[in-house]
Structure 1
Amino acid sequence: MEAEVKIEQRPEPGLIGEGSWLTALWREAGTAVRPEEALIPVGLHPVAAGGSQGQGVLSPKLRERAERIVRSARAEGLPIFPVAIAPLFAGWRLHTRGRHYDYVFCNLAEDPLFHDPDGFPIPRHTLRYLERLSRSALAEQFDLLYVVHEVEKGSVREGEALDSDKLVPPSPRVQRASRHLGTLGTGLWLGATLPLVAGGGLGMAVATAAATAVLAMISPGVDPLLLGAVVAPGRPVRAGKLAVWFYLAHWCYPVLPSSEEGQEVRDKG
């Protein structure tokens, strides 16, 4: 059984207007959060709050686009919901604030596992869900896909090459799971896996606005977490552009005694 994605109360700076809108959208998505928790995903960097680069807060067109995604997800019966309002970022970022693990946060196109011939290690029941998502009307709705990987503390360092061996969960049970995400139906990945064009003057602080909100959701053992991001219609998809970020999927490999691992995979296969 997959680990529950838990929303913990970690207040972040936000704008009441955007928080109220996000609260309503969470309710429409059928997500069980209290109104006072709705500001948690609104991690607004100064760029997003109308700072020097003039991005401003969410445009009506971006709000409408996010609302259509939520309604489509409900119609399809898919558990997709918004988790953050923050600018896009290029490259990969390492976040070390987790108590037990570090987290690598990157665009799917820049993830070494996406280009690995074996693809992501992925449980079969999660693969079935992603195949369903790839066949849905939502498959081509997202401008970019991001992945959050849980890694052992200290195993990845800023400035070093990021290779797939550092991102694959090391447990033997992973070897018994399907490894086909890299060749999963292209509908989900086709329009959302181009490398992101970097924006001038945008660094770790921009990435942190989204990452802090997302990491507040993660329970240990969720690896990886798949996110989709959308910008306002007609806007260029590049670092620094304000986006609404959505939870798409997560998978995990429950810790089981070795004698039970094979049975667990058979049950889910």
Structure 2
Amino acid sequence: MLGSRHPHSSAALLSAVLLLHIQAAVAVNFQVLAPAGPLSAPLGGTVLLPCHLSPALSAQAMQVKWSRVGQDIHVYLPNGSEVQGERTELLRDGIQKGSLALRIWNLTLQDEGRYLCDFQSNNTVGNATLELHVTSSGSDPLLHIGGYDGKQMNVTCLSVGWYPKPKVLWRNGHRERLTPSKEEKISINQDLFDVSSSVVVTEQSAPTLICVIRPGSPGPEKVSAILISHEFFPKVSSWKVGLFLFLSVCVCLLFLPACYLWRVQRAKRKSSNLTTKK
């Protein structure tokens, strides 16, 4: 009897093992991967936030949700429909390999922050976070000369429309750092930073002056330079001083006899008038 049941028991055991393997395959674990470092994108531009499964499983039957600060931005549902944001798009070309990147266009400063990419299947949940930085490259530095008194002048560097806050640096033609005469002024205009900084230039200063605006995030610096002519600080030659003194003495020497003659003539007229009256 036992021997006659053995083949049936083996078949049942084999079926159970296969069922377990199928269930294990269905309930396979996965990880959600996203870039570890922050992503940067320009204000008003477009950014692509990548996110994918490892191993590369199909996410077609999963729920995939992008959110920021606890608020859903874009959701893909297992039936293939989407709950879409105003400025978002989900790239579904790689969905069979578990890739669902989020595109955001017309970026604003409010889009900056930490994003959560969340995958949910029937048995497994996984997510990953990534950081987005929005940047704005301001205007080229504008150099303005003011406060000139013949001995020194103020040169001011102005630049507007930066995010995050930039740094203003001064150098001369020898690439030596210069100390500003005033603290760097920073104002906020529509959440963007405007900066200004000034240095004092004298006759002893190097003629070339360079203003550098260094962004607060990775990106190129903006530079402007000006050449201060020594004609702004005219030198008085010794022969000119001597000529000025000589002419002054001559004027004095001519003025004194003229005054004397004028007084003599005045006295004569008074005397003549008195004689006439008598």
Shorter-chain TM-score range: under 0.3
Q: When the two structures are superposed, what TM-score results if normalisation uses the length of structure 2?
A: 0.20
Which structure shows the bigger proportion of residues in strand conformation? 2
Which structure shows the bigger proportion of residues in helix conformation? 1
Higher Cα radius of gyration: 2
Q: When the two structures are superposed, what TM-score results if normalisation uses the length of structure 1?
A: 0.20
